[in-house]
Structures are given as C-alpha cells and as structure tokens.
C-alpha cells in the first residue's frame, strides 16, 4: 500500500536562537525565481554580482571572495584544507565550541596543532597568543573565532593579527556569526583569510559559506607542496569556476545563490553602519530588560556580542522546559547552552531580520511570564520599561544628531 503524505507546511517561527534567523520576504521571492544552469550566462553574471557584494559587506578588496557551496562549517574546512599542509605548525585560539571545532579540523589536515585557551565567556588575550607563538618553531597559521556563538563573546582582532604576522603566520578568522551584525573589517584588520555563513546576520537560509583570501593566503594555497585534502573544497579547482575561465567543477546551488544575492542587496540597501547600529540597539535593550528582572549575560562585560546573547539561567529553572514553553506558547525559538554551558545558559539571537524591537519586547514578556510559572516573581513590566527606555534614549540621540 502506497503511503499518502500531506503537503509540506512548516509552522512560521520567531527565530531568536543561534541561527538560522528569520528570512525577509524578498529573499523567499528570489528563491522562487526560475532555475537556470550553473554555467548559464545570466547565472555567471549573478556570480560576479555576489562576489562584489560580498567584498562590500566584508570590507575587503580581495579578488578571491566568493560563496562556497555548503554551510559555515564548509567554509571552515575550505580555509583549513587550503591553508594547512601536513606537519604545519598551527595555533588555534579556543574559548568555546567553535574554536575547539577549528582545532579538530586543523588536526584532520595533519597539522601540528597548539592551542591557546581562555575560560568560556572570556576573550583570548593578545599576550597569551604572543606567548604561545614564541614557543613554536615556525607557525604557519593562527585561527580564531571573531564571534563565538557558544558563549556570545566578540573577540578584538587587530592586535592579534599584528602578533600573528610578526611571527610569520597567517591569520584565519571565523566570522560566521558576526558578518552583517557588527563590524567585520577584513582589510583594515589585516585578516589573511575569513569564512562566514549565510543563515545568521545575513538572514539567508543556510547553505552557502562566504570566504575571502588575501594575497598571502592565496600564495599559500596556490603554492602548496601537496594537494588539498578535499577535492570538493580545493581552491585551485574552484578558482577555475569562480574565476574568469568558468571551468566546470560542481553543480552550484543556483537557488541558494539567488537567495544570497538578494540578502546581500538588502544588507547594502540598509547600509552597514545602520545595520550594525540596529543590532547594537536591540542588544542593549534586551540586556537592560534582563537586568531589570535580575538576569545577567554570562559573557565578558565589554566584549558581548550584539547579535548573540548568552543569558544565565536562574537557579531552580529548567532550561529545556522554558525553551519548550517559549516554542509552544509564543512560537519563539531560542537556543540552549553548549558544552560547558549546557543547561546553564540560554542563547538568544537577535540576528539580521530577527533583530527587531518587537521581538525584543515579545521575548522579554514571554520569558517573564514563563519564569513566573517557576515561582521567580518576575516583574515583566519592569523588563519592558527598561528596554523601552533604551529605545527612547537612543532615539533621542539620533534626533539630536
């Protein structure tokens, strides 16, 4: 007997977790455009537009800037397999899940990996990187996460880039969660290679990983002694497709590139500075609302991400129950803690399309109501008033300007 399946009809959610974020209607419309071949002249023209728009969003002039077919983790693997050869000395900075993941990938490439560690929720101090590099003979690469999604920490980059270069190493930056939500200045920070993802602050569905290689990284990748570990992610092969020759390599996800083009267009239409300011404002409003009811962010003060907020869970409150009730009662998705912070924090994302005042206010009200179920005696009105005060104050500053 043949089974009968109902048409697909997912419930629309308010996505306030660590990704994906909500997708603008214009991006959905772009994904419904007619499919063309991956070597069609119209798609080739779109590829060039995507490359140029990515340069503008990543603030780089790097010619080698394009989206890898795969999620942000594919971007990480792409950078590692092209920049690391067996026996290379590599230093990876670890202060959360994604630094640890980069370490694993580098080890799989055959690197001699050393790590510099910081407690979860804290930044990597430049002095620690300098000390670690001095203990290495010939470091080839330093890898670091700009926005650690597991903890909500934003890492200062410029000094670490200088230290890496002083020791003859390339700097590889993970900007999966930061791109489009806070300043990412690839050229100004002298980052040699970086990778990101589409589903966070760019508000595009998951499926592509923007990457960029500067001159030093490109030289390392193109003058390797050995072939890259991955055929699919080999820059020397992909360059033939994303470069001027358009040599067939793989069937690119055409519809995902439609989506990324439209998402990037919306980012640039809003303007990077305005987009960053929007994420900053919503972060501070959320933080003020949480503090008004006795909740704190777990990440280091002064280095907290605007787009990913790690909230310390009150004693006696069950993590999974709160997240389940948020989803069932209010249609809000947030993330639970990972690794050391599993069951200890909630990860509240305010990314891209999801970073809106109405979402901040709805979440504060919903969380307050649910916490009252646990006997926490939350004054939800105080949370909303504190958040409103942030919006009011920042609105007044804009008017004065």
pLDDT at 3: 83
How many CB atoms neighbour CB 170 within 10 A? 25
Mean pLDDT (the chain) is: 96
User: Within this chain, do residues 74 and 192 fall inside the same structural domain, yes or no?
Assistant: yes
Per-residue pLDDT, averaged over 67-75, amounts to 98
DSSP 178-217: TTTTS---TTTTT-SEEE--SSSTT---S-EEEEEE-HHH
With a cut of 60, say whether residue 54 has pLDDT above it: yes
Domain with 148 in it: 25-268
User: Within this chain, do residues 333 and 216 fall inside the same structural domain, yes or no?
Assistant: no
Tokens linked to 244: 């001027």
Asked whether residue 163 is domain-assigned, the answer is: yes
Count of domains observed in the chain: 2
DSSP 294-332: T--B-SPTT-B-SSEEEEEPPTT--HHHHHHHHHHHH-E
pLDDT digits (tens, 9 = 90+) for 332-385: 999 999 999 999 999 999 999 999 999 999 999 999 999 999 989 999 999 999
User: Within this chain, do residues 82 and 204 fall inside the same structural domain, yes or no?
Assistant: yes
Residue at a domain's end among 207, 238, 268: 268
pLDDT at 399: 52
With b meaning 16 or more CB within 10 Å and e meaning fewer, what string describes 77-90? Answer: bbbbbbbbbeebbb
With a cut of 70, say whether residue 42 has pLDDT above it: yes
Asked whether residue 375 is domain-assigned, the answer is: yes
pLDDT digits (tens, 9 = 90+) for 114-151: 999 999 999 999 999 999 999 999 999 999 999 999 99
With a cut of 70, say whether residue 397 has pLDDT above it: no
What helix, strand, coil percent values describe the chain, rounded to 5?
45, 15, 40
CATH code, 334: 3.90.1150.10
User: Within this chain, do residues 32 and 166 fall inside the same structural domain, yes or no?
Assistant: yes
pLDDT at 398: 61
Residue at a domain's end among 238, 268, 298: 268
Residue at a domain's end among 213, 233, 268: 268
Asked whether residue 374 is domain-assigned, the answer is: yes
Asked whether residue 12 is domain-assigned, the answer is: no
Cα–Cα distance list, 373 to 12, 252, 362 (Å): 26, 49, 17
pLDDT digits (tens, 9 = 90+) for 311-321: 999 999 999 99
User: Within this chain, do residues 230 and 291 fall inside the same structural domain, yes or no?
Assistant: no
- 3-state secondary structure (DSSP) of residue 119: coil
Confidence of residue 394 (pLDDT cuts 50, 70, 90): confident
Asked whether residue 306 is domain-assigned, the answer is: yes
Asked whether residue 8 is domain-assigned, the answer is: no
User: Within this chain, do residues 73 and 180 fall inside the same structural domain, yes or no?
Assistant: yes
């Amino acid at each position: 007997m043949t089974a009968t399946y109902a048409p697909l009809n997912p419930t629309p959610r308010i996505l306030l977790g660590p990704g994906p974020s909500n997708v603008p209607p214009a991006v959905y419309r772009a994904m419904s455009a007619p499919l063309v071949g991956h070597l069609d002249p119209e798609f080739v023209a779109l590829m060039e537009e995507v490359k140029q728009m990515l340069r503008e969003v990543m603030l780089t002039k790097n010619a080698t800037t394009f989206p890898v077919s795969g999620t942000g983790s594919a971007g990480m693997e792409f950078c590692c397999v092209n920049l690391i050869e067996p026996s290379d000395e590599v230093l990876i900075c670890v202060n959360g899940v994604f630094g640890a993941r980069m370490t694993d990938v580098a080890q799989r490439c055959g690197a001699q990996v050393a790590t510099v560690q910081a407690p979860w929720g804290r930044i990597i101090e430049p002095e620690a990187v300098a000390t670690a590099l001095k203990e290495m003979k010939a470091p080839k690469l330093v890898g670091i996460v700009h926005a650690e999604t597991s903890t909500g920490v934003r890492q200062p980059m410029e000094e670490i880039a200088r230290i890496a270069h002083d020791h003859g190493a390339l700097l590889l930056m993970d900007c999966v969660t930061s791109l489009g939500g806070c300043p990412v200045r690839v050229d100004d920070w002298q980052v040699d290679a970086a990778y990101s993802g589409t589903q966070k602050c760019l508000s595009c569905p998951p499926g592509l990983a923007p990457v960029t290689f500067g001159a030093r990284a490109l030289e390392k990748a193109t003058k390797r002694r050995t072939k890259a570990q991955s055929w699919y992610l080999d820059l020397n092969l992909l360059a033939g497709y994303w470069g001027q020759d358009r040599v067939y390599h793989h069937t690119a996800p055409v519809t995902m590139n439609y989506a990324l083009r439209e998402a990037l267009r919306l980012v640039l239409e809003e303007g990077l500075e305005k987009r960053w300011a929007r994420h900053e404002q919503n972060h501070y409003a959320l933080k003020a609302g949480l503090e008004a009811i006795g909740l704190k962010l777990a990440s280091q003060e002064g280095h907290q991400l605007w787009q990913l907020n790690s909230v310390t869970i009150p004693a006696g409150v069950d993590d999974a129950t709160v997240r389940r009730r948020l989803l069932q009662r209010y249609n809000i998705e947030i993330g639970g803690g990972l690794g050391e912070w599993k069951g200890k924090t909630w990860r509240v994302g305010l990314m891209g399309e999801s970073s809106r005042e109405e979402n901040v206010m709805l979440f504060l009200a919903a969380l307050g109501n649910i916490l009252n179920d646990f006997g926490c005696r939350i004054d939800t009105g105080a949370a909303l008033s504190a958040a409103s005060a942030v919006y009011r104050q920042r609105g007044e500053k804009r008017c004065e300007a």
